[in-house]
Chains A and B, each alone.
Chain A
Amino acid sequence: MSNKIMQWVDRRFPLTSFVKHDLSEYPTPRNLSYWWNFGSLAGIVLVLQVLTGIFLAMHYKADVAQSFNSIQHIMRDVNYGWLLRYMHSTGASAFFLVIFIHMARTLYYGSYRAPRELLWWTGQGLLLLLMGTAFMGYLLPWGQMSFWGATVITNLFRATPFIGDQVVVWLRGDYTVGDETLTRFFALHYLLPFVIIGAVMVHLIALHMVKSSNPSGIDLADKDNIPFHPYFTIKDLYGLGVFLMVYFGFALFFPNLLIEPANNIPANPMQTPNHIVPEWYFLPFYAILRSVPNMVGGVVAMGLSVMLFAFMPFLDRSKIPGGALYRPIYRLQFYLFIIDMMILGYIGYVPPTDQTIVIGQIASVVYFGIFFILPFTSKIEEKWLRNRGLPAQVEALIASEELQIAQKKSGGK
């Protein structure tokens, strides 16, 4: 019977072949490490955010006179409202943590290399959408930091040539951040996650075209690919279990750790907080913004600092596979970049002093420097490694990759 129903469906919709091709028998490299768990984790965090968000929206009021109170209503009166709200606020941080690790893995293993450029660029688009959604969501509680954060960031659009002032008014719907801004941010904060879901589909279609990268840095032979189910369903589930322990550890035991105290004070346009800080995931970029004395320059630098990741397929000119795995200089650059990000994050957090401004400027120069020297270091490194003699294992990888490319060109498999 069920067989007959499936046949009926399959004549009209490619259900069985889709499940086989893209889920159960989807070929996945067997050598993936746990660093490859973070893509599916990001998808699950997205679902968690959408679900908790929809239920929060049922009790939330986007109105300057009521927003702050409605959050307290959710926290105190709504059944398990406190759970929804803490899961959602912790979920935002969890989302960025997972995405940053996902990106760091891509950078470390050089997963952005051909043929995965489009996969990487759709990911870059997702990062921008995620940042926009998180930024707008942060206004909704209408606390002091919500208000002043939104004021500072929308104000940056004054850097737009010629029509800067008009753009800021257009974004806010008013001359200052107010009821109009709150209402439209709520509308967009509800809309954008669904745009993200669509963009994730595109990201997945791109992924299933080129398949997952793997630590070796080359596409493995067919025999080294294994079906997604059951091997990676169970591996992803195990990773999810570990993730959920960390997530619920924060959401249930330390939910206020990442909420600025000032955001428990209702927004007051007449009183600027002592020191305005964005959420932790924006801190490195915020530090770069503050490091440039001129506002337009700062905005350009901040925009560039986020967008530079997209250029990685062009900047990295080395043909040695495996990313940082077999490339000592690139590896050094990678770790330097991570440390630099953390320094920038710290500088973005503390109130600026003469010292921290200088440190921030040095760290910003290092940030951009790492990207800008990459075309040269990657080429020099490759030459040096080849002259020194590559390990047999790497030679084999390169040979195998060249063979595959040649085969694809000649049309064979």
Chain B
Amino acid sequence: MKKQLLALALCCVASLAGANEGVKLEKIQVDPSNPAVKRGVEAFMESCHGCHSLKYIKYQDLVGLGFDKAKVKEWQGDWTIDSPVMGMMPDDAAMASFGTIPPELSLMAKARDGGNNYMYSYLMGYYTGADGVTGNHVFPASKMPDPLGISSATEPAQRAEIAAKARDIVSFLNWASDPHEQERFRLGYYVMGYLLVLTSLLYVMKNRIWARLK
């Protein structure tokens, strides 16, 4: 009996370890500040917008982040200011070139296990193999060419610059997945503070009222 219990316990431990399979993701802290998100927008427009859409983000929302209209005009091209940020490449062209349709990115920060860490590790996960072919550690089946050039960057300074860019892009996509996140946190602090005071008062009152009983 004891042996069976031990085996059961070991199985539990083993399966816990097994659940964590796959590539280890790098952990990053996204920067929700406005400058970082804005840097992320610029990097996104430069490196991602060619193929990827953000259909729940409108060009107008970028003006809301603090870009001036002339700058946004460059990105929006023939689209209007209140149209969603659609990728530049038509789906059939993407299908012809890459054999897949580039995924929509508005919710990417929430649509993968690991979220922001996944996106960052994926962007930074490109490498050049011994045969000179580029691969990706995090998503080996990826059809996306290395967008930031990390696979060919060898200089530490250059790699650091790309890492910073990747982090900015992730910060922007995190914002895009939930534009009200910071507002929610701010409200949260007030709500928790209020509830803490209220609940403490209720506790005191409860004790006073119950003290009437002998």
Contacts and interface: CB of A to CB of B under 8 A. Distances in A.
A231 B107 contact: no
Contacts of A83: 184, 187
Contact of A264 (B12, B15, B111): B111
Contacts of A255: 184
A265 B184 CA distance: 23
A65 interface: no
Nearest to A363: B8
Given A82-B184, A230-B209, A234-B205, A241 B56 contact: no
A82 B192 contact: no
B12 A359 contact: yes
A355 B11 contact: yes
Contacts of B11: 355, 358-359
Contact of A252 (B178, B185, B203): B185
B28 interface: no
B191 interface: yes
Secondary structure dominating the interface of A: helix
Interface string A241-260: 11011001100110110010
A261 interface: yes
A241 B195 contact: yes
B195 A362 contact: no
B180 A75 contact: yes
A376 interface: no
Interface in A274-317: none
B14 interface: yes
Contacts of B96: none
Contact of B8 (A261, A264, A359): A359
Interface centre among A75, A76, A255 (most CB of B within 10 A): A76
A387 interface: no
Given A72-B56, A234-B202, A252-B185, A265 B179 contact: no
Contacts of B113: 261
B184 A252 contact: yes
Given A231-B213, A353-B15, A248 B199 contact: no
A365 B107 CA distance: 42
Contacts of B156: none
B145 interface: no
Contacts of B191: 248, 252
A238 B188 contact: no
Interface string B106-133: 1100111101000000000000000000
A226 interface: yes
Interface in B122-171: none
Contacts of A355: 11, 14-15, 18
Nearest to B14: A355
Q: Which 8 A-B pairs have the closest CB atoms?
A: A241-B199, A252-B188, A264-B111, A238-B202, A264-B110, A264-B107, A82-B180, A238-B206
9 contacts: A72-B106, A234-B202, A241-B195, A248-B188, A248-B192, A256-B110, A264-B111, A355-B11, A355-B15
Given A241-B195, A252-B187, 9 more contacts: A76-B56, A237-B206, A238-B199, A252-B184, A252-B188, A262-B111, A265-B111, A350-B15, A358-B11
